[in-house]
Chains A and B, each alone.
Chain A
Amino acid sequence: DSGVTQTPKHLITATGQRVTLRCSPRSGDLSVYWYQQSLDQGLQFLIQYYNGEERAKGNILERFSAQQFPDLHSELNLSSLELGDSALYFCASSVDSFSGNTIYFGEGSWLTVV
C-alpha cells in the first residue's frame, strides 16, 4: 500500500459525459501528479500540483482540468468524454517538488467510456 488513495476504482460512463476522479496523497506529501495510461500511448504525464498550485502541465487536453484543495487532496475533471479517453488514470504524490524525490502511485481509476 503506497498510501495514495484514488476513487473510484472503476467507472463506466457514456460519451459526452463528465466525471471527477479523486486522489488523496500520502500523509505529508504536498505534491500531486496525474498520469494517464492507455495501451496505445503508454504512461502520459497530465499535470502536477504543489501545495495547491499548478506546477507543470503535460499532455492534458483542454477538456480535462484538475485542482488541489487546501487539504491537499486533488481532483481530475474529465468532460465531454470520448471513447479514446478510456484509460487508467493514476494519481501519484511526493513530499515536495524537488528533484530526486520518489513519487508514489495510487492503484488507479479505470475509466471506460461507452
Chain B
Amino acid sequence: AQSVTQLGSHVSVSEGALVLLRCNYSSSVPPYLFWYVQYPNQGLQLLLKYTSAATLVKGINGFEAEFKKSETSFHLTKPSAHMSDAAEYFCAVSRLTNTGNQFYFGTGTSLTVIP
C-alpha cells in the first residue's frame, strides 16, 4: 500500500531556528512526493515536489526537502523559521493506479513559531 507517515503532529520552533518536519513514505517503486502548506482558513498550497530529477528539492518560501531512498524519507527543512511559517504542513505521495492518479496525504504537522 502507498502511504506517508508524518512524525509529530505538532512542532514548535523559535523564530530564526531550524525547521524540520518529518515524512516517511512506503513504496515499492520510486514515488512522486509532495509537500503542501495550509495557512489558517485557506486551501492547501504546493510547497515543493519530488519527481526523481534531483534528490534535493527547493520549494517556495525558503523550504527544501531531501529525498533519501535508503531511509524512505522526504523531510522538509528551512534554515531559519519566520513567524509567517506558522501553518499546517502535509506530506503527500502520488502513484498511478489502475483507477488513476492517487494522492495519499499524511495526517499533517502543525508548525508553531515562537517569537
Which A positions have Cβ atoms within 8 angstroms of B? 2, 4, 31, 33, 42-43, 45, 48, 50, 55-56, 90, 92, 94, 96-108
Contact = CB atoms under 8 A, between A and B. Distances in A.
6 contacts: A31-B101, A56-B99, A97-B100, A97-B101, A102-B34, A107-B42
- Counting chain B residues whose Cβ lies within 8 A of the other chain, the interface size class is 20 to 34
B61 interface: no
Interface of B: 32, 34, 36, 42-46, 49, 51, 90, 94-97, 99-105, 107-108
A56 B101 CA distance: 9
Nearest to B49: A102
Contact of B107 (A42, A96, A107, A108): A42
B100 A31 contact: yes
Contacts of B34: 102
The interface residues of chain B, by DSSP majority, are classed as strand
Contacts of A4: 43
Contact of A98 (B42, B44, B96, B107): B96
Contact of B94 (A50, A101, A107): A101
A102 B107 CA distance: 19
Contact of B32 (A43, A99, A105): A99
